[in-house]
Amino acid sequence: MEDRLKNLKKAMDQRMFSQLNFTEKHRRNILGKINQPAESDEDILLAVMQLLVHEKTGFELTKQLRGRGIKKYEDNEGFLYTFLHRLEQSGCIQSNWTEAGAKYYQLTDRGRKVLRKADKRQINSQVVWKELFER
C-alpha cells in the first residue's frame, strides 16, 4: 500500500503541482500559520463570553467558535460543555432548558462585568482566568 501512495504522490507532483509556484514570502506566511500556537484558554474564554452576550445553544456556540478559528472543541465537544459548566458554576453564565429540550446559555451580569473588564484591557487575561476559576 505504501508504494501505491508514493506513486500517487509522485504522479500528483508531476501533474498537479508542477505549475504551482510560491514566493518566499508566501512560504513564510504559510509556515507561520502552521507553527502558530494553539488557542490559549484565555483566548477561548474571551471568545465564549463574547458569543454568549446573546443566548445560544452549545451547538450554535461550537459553530461560531469554529467560525472564529477556534478548533479546540471540534473533535470532542464534551470539553466545551465541561467548560460551560465551569463558567456556570463561577456565576458568569446561566443556562435554561426549553420545552423542546434544548439548553441555552447566556452571560449573567457578573459575566458581562468580567467581559467589559477584559475588553477594556484593564486587567490581563490571566487575572480574568484566576478570578473565574480559582476560587
Mean pLDDT, residues 85-94 taken together: 93
What's the pLDDT tens digit per position in 57-69?
A: 999 998 999 888 8
Looking at the fold, whether 65 and 116 belong to one and the same domain comes out as: yes
pLDDT > 90 fraction of the chain, expressed in percent and rounded: 31
> How far apart are the C-alpha atoms of 8 and 92, rounded to whole Å?
53
Looking at the fold, whether 15 and 72 belong to one and the same domain comes out as: no
* pTM attached to this predicted model: 0.62
**Res 122: pLDDT:** 46
Print the domain residue range for 23. 2-34
The HSE-up count of residue 81 (CA atoms within 13 Å, CB side) is 9
**Res 1: pLDDT:** 59
Band (pLDDT 50/70/90 cuts) for residue 74 is confident
Looking at the fold, whether 95 and 57 belong to one and the same domain comes out as: yes
Looking at the fold, whether 12 and 73 belong to one and the same domain comes out as: no
Looking at the fold, whether 15 and 62 belong to one and the same domain comes out as: no
What's the pLDDT tens digit per position in 112-133?
A: 998 888 877 645 555 665 666 6
Looking at the fold, whether 9 and 47 belong to one and the same domain comes out as: no
> What total number of domains does the chain contain?
2
Give the burial class of 100: count Cβ atoms within 10 A of its Cβ; 0-12 exposed, 13-18 middle, 19 or more buried: exposed
Looking at the fold, whether 6 and 61 belong to one and the same domain comes out as: no
